[in-house]
Amino acid sequence: MKSQTLLAVLSTLLIAGCPMMDNPMPDPNTPNSMTPNDSNGDMPDGNDTSPDTNKPDDSNKPNDGNEPTTVVQTVFLRPIYGDGSAGDRSYSGDDTLDNERNLQFNDFSVDAGVTLTIQSGAVLRIKGAFTNKGRIVVKTGGEGGDRVGVDSSTLFAATRPPEPGVATLAAASGEVGGDAELRSGGAASNGLSEFEARQTLRIGVRAGGGGGAGMGKGGNGGGGLTIIAEGAISNIGEIIAEGSAGVDGGGGGGGGVIMLASATSVSNQAGGMIAVRGGAGGASTSDSGAGGGGGGGFVHMIAPEVLSEGGVDIAAGAAGATGAAASITSSMRSGGGGGGASAGDGGTGGTVMYGANADPMEPGDAEDGFLLITEADPTALF
């Protein structure tokens, strides 16, 4: 009871900023509260009231765990796991988690055979344990590029650029125009290095980058999901955050990002699967080159104990299929869109040669993402 009382008092003082008196005045009415002064400060009987400058300095004395510093750490760092105010949450039927204001749960579980769809960018804070035996699907993140419209008389194309997501450089859409000149495929996007991915602890809504447009829309990037639990995190089912495929020469979206952090342990058990694959590029058509594939996303597991026996899919999306020679026949055409990036780079879009009946060229390959494991207490990281 004494330690609990001390914790409550110190917490109140730290939060309120209340000063504490270092040397309260003695009560002259209390026996032995006033003692003769030892002018030399060296009386062995403890009757001196002046500081003893001959005593050893204990300012560097090691903290034995009972000092206020430990209390400060407890009060101010543990709230990253939430306060459990949303209570226990257990899903026994298909559902969607995308419109709740309080995501601070106690225990959280998804039963086998259940599909739970979660909004990209969600951060679940769990005071207890997190267990998934079902299928968690994260909605897509960064939007792919798109053609708003093409005016064949002026050769003007209105294009919405793709979003970069966590990538360092967004994908480019394919060049659009007539058949007198070749039309270049969209440039590749740049993903994160392993170091950069490890430092990306706040994912946000736009996780994987969108693919560039061909004549059709680029794929959306995979979504992002962060789970921060004080208890154990256990995945026996599936957690899916994949980029979507490009359409009509659009680049595939980059793969998503899954962050699992626990003060106890993280386990992706045998039979479990975490997938952050990039989306496939769109195939070439009569008016567009093939799109590049989306780069693979990344999975980061952070805990003092990490077990990864289940599957982790961090693969890049496949490049779009290239049509036969002379298969580009439209007078208005576009190069294929570049693939979106995440951890891995996206692939370049396929170029279209000039001429009334032109050849589509092969798009570039995208790169795989990362599985990152950090065996450490994540309490101070978020």
Query: How many domains, in total, are found in the chain?
Result: 1
Tokens read off for 96: 């969607």
**What is the pLDDT confidence band of residue 151, given thresholds at 50, 70 and 90?**
low
Tokens read off for 285: 């058509």
With beta carbons less than 8 A apart as the criterion, state whether 322 and 170 touch: no
Q: What is the pLDDT of residues 183-202, one digit of tens each?
A: 999 999 999 999 999 999 99
**What is the pLDDT confidence band of residue 64, given thresholds at 50, 70 and 90?**
low
Domain assignment present for 156 = yes
| Four-point Cα dihedral 264, 268, 270, 275, nearest 10 | 180
Compute the distance between CA of residue 342 and CA of residue 108 in angstroms, rounded to an integer: 28
Q: Which structural domain, as residue segments, surrounds residue 365?
A: 84-382
Q: What is the pLDDT of residues 304-325, one digit of tens each?
A: 999 999 999 999 999 999 999 9
pLDDT of residue 48: 45
Domain assignment present for 77 = no
Q: What is the pLDDT of residues 219-259, one digit of tens each?
A: 999 999 999 999 999 999 999 999 999 999 999 999 999 99
Q: What mean pLDDT value characterizes the chain?
A: 85
Over 50: is that where the pLDDT of 124 sits? yes
Domain assignment present for 379 = yes
Domain assignment present for 93 = yes
**What is the pLDDT confidence band of residue 66, given thresholds at 50, 70 and 90?**
low
Sign of dihedral through CA atoms 118, 119, 123, 127?
A: negative
Q: What is the pLDDT of residues 352-379, one digit of tens each?
A: 999 999 999 999 999 999 999 999 999 9
- The DSSP bridge pattern shows strands 156-160 and 108-110 to be unpaired
Domain assignment present for 76 = no
SS (H, E, C) the chain: CHHHHHHHHHHHHHHHCCCCCCCCCCCCCCCCCCCCCCCCCCCCCCCCCCCCCCCCCCCCCCCCCCCHHHHHHHHHHHHHHCCCCCCCEEECCCEEECCCCCCEECCEEECCCCEEEECCCEEEEECCCEEECCEEEECCCCCCCEEEEEECCCCEEEEECCCCCCCCECCCCCCEECCCCCECCCCCCECCCHHHHHHCCCCCCCCCCCCCCCCCCCCCCCCEEEEEECCCEEECCEEECCCCCCCCCCCCCCCCEEEEEECCCEEECCCCEEECCCCCCCCCECCECCCCCCCCCEEEEEECCEEECCEEECCCCCCCCCCCCCCECCCCEECCCCCCCCCCCCCCCCCECCCCCECECCCCCCCCCEEEEEECCHHHCC
pLDDT of residue 158: 73
| Residue with more model confidence, 259 or 8 | 259
Domain assignment present for 68 = no
Residues in the chain: 382
**What is the pLDDT confidence band of residue 11, given thresholds at 50, 70 and 90?**
very low
What is the CB neighbour count within 10 angstroms for residue 317?
Answer: 36
Over 50: is that where the pLDDT of 4 sits? no
Domain assignment present for 30 = no
Burial grade of 357 (CB within 10 A; 0-12, 13-18, 19 or more): exposed
Over 60: is that where the pLDDT of 13 sits? no
Domain assignment present for 344 = yes
Rank 72-76, 294-298, 330-334 by mean pLDDT and report only the highest.
Answer: 294-298
Q: At what angle do helices 2-16 and 68-77 cross, to 10 degrees?
A: 70
